[in-house]
């Protein structure tokens, strides 16, 4: 894997850096030895993985793909990374992304764009473009990514792999460089739903170091529940998700998936989510303020003019735009827009929670169609609108997964999205498994 990842990286640019070969081989050797001795190891032991570069690692810099943080070390592993390393997982390196997770195409990285492994003219999606591309190109067995508004699910859809964002607080975020703390969630990219269940069985755990961490009691592993039937399950199809902007092929992919769930015994029903038109405004209106509040502290340990100078030179355009927008939203009269966004968030949260009292699953497209080409989306609004189907899960803090489902006319993959109620990863995974 390491050899292949290094070779492919010259084209794909999924990794920002690799750990030392000697060290990695030593780790692999240790796992081998433990296995030889007859030790019962985790299914994940010895598997080569990659970590998105906004998740802290002890041995490697954590740059969030920002020029400003080129030499930034968190000094310790994020809890999610540590959990995996304790199981004998081998972390090959740090994965490319949009700077601080801001973007939907991976065109906003200081380290250059990631290339979609399915076709070099297409973006891999973002912001976890490196995480999705690495799995799609067999440069890692699975990867960790982060999802604030779709950053795991959308690139997974564009690269033809499985991407999942768990419930807010289910996977520890200790050691993460945040984009918008009340939206961010660490999740994973895998090749199959089965792999995802195994990864989530090992990642989801209470962490006292993360104040947002939640306790989830799972009697049985997700993996062991995948084959459970879904007879009588209520699946909702939000009609607003099928309006303007959705490609014919993506629509078809969702409708066929709905039929498959029906064949498996589920009851699929069309519903209305009238707040859909406000999702993107609520998302950007509230996240930009969190960006402003969180990112103004960089670069750390420096003050005064020097801080301002370094920040101006170090942050990329997209990050600056969002900081400015966030700052502006807090000023004087403008606050009414921010307050509206917060109100909207609360409203959407309540509506979604109510929805999940009646339905176990909401089925939808992940993105409006297949991946787009580099440079194709120039206007920020067009780019922001590509998050329309994914942001609701972050606004409501619920788990969501994208699974590859079809191919478009251009031969590029199309993913579909499933969402479930808070803490219902088991239901989400077993339903996704049927697709």
Choose, from 105, 151, 172, 386, the residue flagged as catalytic.
151
Choose, from 104, 113, 127, 131, the residue flagged as catalytic.
127
Q: Is-contact 417 390, C-beta < 8 A?
A: yes
Is 37 a residue of the active site? no
Smallest distance from ligand GLN to CB 173, Å: 13
Q: Which residues here bind ligand GLN, judged by CB under 6 A?
A: 101-104, 127, 146-151, 179, 387
3-state helix, strand, coil in the chain (%, to 5): 45, 15, 40
DSSP code, position 374: T
147 vs 195, beta carbon nearer ligand GLN: 147
d(CA 167, CA 162): 16
82 vs 151, beta carbon nearer ligand GLN: 151
Choose, from 52, 165, 430, 434, the residue flagged as catalytic.
52
Smallest distance from ligand GLN to CB 311, Å: 20
- DSSP β-ladder status, 162-165 and 90-95: unpaired
179 vs 246, beta carbon nearer ligand GLN: 179
C-alpha closest to that of 103 among 131, 127, 122 = 127
179 vs 203, beta carbon nearer ligand GLN: 179
Smallest distance from ligand GLN to CB 174, Å: 18
124 vs 150, beta carbon nearer ligand GLN: 150
d(CA 47, CA 32): 11
DSSP code, position 145: E
Smallest distance from ligand GLN to CB 98, Å: 7
Q: Is-contact 79 175, C-beta < 8 A?
A: yes
Run of H or E including 392: helix 391-396
Is 6 a residue of the active site? no
| Neighbouring-strand partners of residue 365 | 416
Q: How many CB atoms are closer than 10 A to CB 400? A: 30
The residue whose Cβ lies closest to ligand GLN is: 151
Is 52 a residue of the active site? yes
150 vs 314, beta carbon nearer ligand GLN: 150
Smallest distance from ligand GLN to CB 66, Å: 14
C-alpha closest to that of 32 among 18, 47, 17, 22 = 47
Smallest distance from ligand GLN to CB 314, Å: 19
The pair of three-digit structure tokens given for residue 164, joined into one six-digit string: 């999942």
The pair of three-digit structure tokens given for residue 326, joined into one six-digit string: 């966030």
**Furthest-apart CA pair in the chain: how many Å?**
68
Catalytic residue numbers read: 52, 127, 151
């Amino acid at each position: 894997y390491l050899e292949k990842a290094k070779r492919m990286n010259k084209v794909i640019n999924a990794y920002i850096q690799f750990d030392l070969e000697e060290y990695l081989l030593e780790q692999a050797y240790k796992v081998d030895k433990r296995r030889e001795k007859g030790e019962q190891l985790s299914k994940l032991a010895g598997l080569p993985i990659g970590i998105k570069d906004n998740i802290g690692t002890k041995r490697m810099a954590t740059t969030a793909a920002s020029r400003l943080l080129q030499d930034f070390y968190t000094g310790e592993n994020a809890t999610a990374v540590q959990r995996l390393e304790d199981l004998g997982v081998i972390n090959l390196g740090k994965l490319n992304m949009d700077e601080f997770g801001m973007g939907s195409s991976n065109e906003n990285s200081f380290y250059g764009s990631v290339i979609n492994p399915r076709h070099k003219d297409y973006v891999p999606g973002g912001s976890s473009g490196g995480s999705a591309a690495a799995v799609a190109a067999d440069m890692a067995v699975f990867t960790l990514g982060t999802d604030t508004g779709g950053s795991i699910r959308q690139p997974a859809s564009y690269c033809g792999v499985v991407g999942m964002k768990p419930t807010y607080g289910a996977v520890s975020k200790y050691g993460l460089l945040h984009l918008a703390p009340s939206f961010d969630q660490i999740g994973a990219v895998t090749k199959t739903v089965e792999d995802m269940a195994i990864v989530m069985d090992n990642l989801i755990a209470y962490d006292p170091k993360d104040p947002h961490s939640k306790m989830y009691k799972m009697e049985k592993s997700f993996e062991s529940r995948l084959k459970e039937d879904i007879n009588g399950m209520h699946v909702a199809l939000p009609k607003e998700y099928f309006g303007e902007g959705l490609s014919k092929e993506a629509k078809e992919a969702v409708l066929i998936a709905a039929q498959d769930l029906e064949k498996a015994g589920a009851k699929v029903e069309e519903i209305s989510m009238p707040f859909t038109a406000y999702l993107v405004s609520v998302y950007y209106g509230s996240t930009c303020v969190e960006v402003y509040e969180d990112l103004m502290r960089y670069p750390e340990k420096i003050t005064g003019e020097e801080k301002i100078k370094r920040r101006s030179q170090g942050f990329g355009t997209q990050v600056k735009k969002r900081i400015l927008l966030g700052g502006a939203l807090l000023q004087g009269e403008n606050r009414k827009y921010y307050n509206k966004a917060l109100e909207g968030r609360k409203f959407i949260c309540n509506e979604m929670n109510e929805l999940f009292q009646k339905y176990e699953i909401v089925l939808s497209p992940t993105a409006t169609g297949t991946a787009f080409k580099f440079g194709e989306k120039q206007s920020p609004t067009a780019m922001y609108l590509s998050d329309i189907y994914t942001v609701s899960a972050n606004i409501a803090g619920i788990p969501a997964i994208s699974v590859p489902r079809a191919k478009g006319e251009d031969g590029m993959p199309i993913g579909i999205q499933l969402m479930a109620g808070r803490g219902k990863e088991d239901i989400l995974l077993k339903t996704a498994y049927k697709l």
